[in-house]
Amino acid sequence: MDWLQTVLDGLAGHLSPAARVWTALSPALAVSAWFLVGFAIFSLQAWRHGVPIDAETVKRGDSLLAGAYIRHFLFWLIRPLDRLLYRSGIPANGITTLAVLVGIAAGVATAAGRFALGGWLFLASGVLDTLDGRVARARGEVTAAGGALDSVMDRYADAAILIGLGWYYRDSWILLVVLAALVGSSLVPYVRAKSESLGFPQKDGLMGRAERVLYMGVAVALSPVLEALLNPTDPHPRHWLAVAGIGLVAVLSNITAVQRLVGLLNALTPPDAAAGKRRSHRAIVVWNAAAAGGATLIDYGVVLVLVQMFSLPPALATLLGCLVGGAVNFGLNRAVTFRSDGPLGAQVGRYTFISASSALLNAAGIALLALHPAIDYRVAWWLVRGAVWLTWNLPMQRDFVFQAPSDATDANGIKAA
């Protein structure tokens, strides 16, 4: 019975290149046909009667990666399944549980290298997660316990596929990309929950959960098609389309988390009477980055000379380079970025402390990355310098070194008159 053996081989993952293509592409073709026919009907209805507005979409905030029209269409498209689940009598918490079980199955499948199966299961989990809350609201069964369960289960479903991908890529640099995606995917809902608890909800951003599910799920599901065409005999393919999807989620989810955090901090910061006299935060970041860039180029030149010509260790060369570029950075920031006329001596003292601590942080970071021989010291240098500037130099220069005299506080934390 050849057909039975074919089925068993498929379940075991022993697929020919052609079978790898069709197992990934068949669901895509069916979904695409459903999508295209539905989009034609939706567009005609929108043209004749206006776009059917989905209230849930409006509440979730804006998204550049999935516009309002497309999001209204997607929820209109799954409305039949929504109604089916509503009439079935299945509890909303049951749908939540099913969604996370399907999400865990997606992680298990990807860990085993079955990317097509894992990607489609992840998309199915996302659809079910969307529907559980709708069913609960339609039945009037919304509870705080159900909301808490749904939120926690979402994190498990998101983590499951990324853990599976991490296991598959455990011997590759791609594991770092997966971990970055895992961090971003966890921080986006955390910042939203924190902002809502403080009364300043932050919902917008490039990469909400719907976008994460859509982009990563499709990329993972269709990646075997590309691999079967490019590397049909590779038993452990890289799945580059999946890597692109994971990378997109890693970058944009972390950007979204930072966007929401900045929005929350701005909402929590009381209005400043002297705000009109100060430069905007964006201008400060731009000019500080320019000043840091000029000083950094000088630092980098010093590092190259010390390492290449004098054979100094990269960490020590980095420390010396920071000291050379520090004077340039101070002058540019005082004159251009902050346009400060504060006491020069006090600013020099504060800047010396921040510059010295920055040099130590940079040197320590380079030394730590040097423990990984696969990372070129020049790449490590730029990574560490960028991270230290963003998290230490910029905020400390803005809030400490070049602060306006009116912002100065005494030892008891009381602002000077």
Point out the residues that are catalytic: 154
Is the separation of the CB atoms in 367 and 315 below 8 Å?
Answer: yes
Angle at 239 between CA 63 and CA 226, to 5 degrees: 90
How far is residue 147 from each of residues 92, 103, 137, 179, 211, measured CA to CA in Å? Answer: 10, 18, 11, 27, 21
Here the tokens at position 159 are 């983590």
Which 3 state secondary structure label does DSSP give 402? coil
CB under 8 Å, gap of 24 or more: what pairs does 147-151 form? 149/93, 149/96, 150/96, 151/189, 151/193
Rounded Cα–Cα distance for residues 195 and 198 (Å): 5
Tokens 């034609």, residue?
40
Q: How many residues does the chain have?
A: 417
Composition of the chain by helix, strand, coil, percent to 5: 75, 0, 20
Helix (H, G, I), strand (E, B) or coil at 412: coil
Across the strands, what pairs with 415? 409
Contact 92, 134 (CB under 8 A): no
Which one, of 239, 105, 219, lies nearest residue 168 by Cα? Answer: 239
CB 227 within 8 Å of CB 297: no
Residue with tokens 């074919």: 6
If we measure between CA atoms, which residue out of 129, 119, 114 comes closest to residue 78?
Answer: 129
b/e for 141-159, b at 16 or more Cβ within 10 A?
eeeeebeebbeebbeebbb
Q: What are phi and psi of 114, to 5 degrees?
A: -90, 75
Go through 247-279 and write b for each residue having 16 or more CB atoms within 10 A of its CB, e for each that does not.
bbbbbbbbebbbbbbebbeeeeeeeeeeeeeee
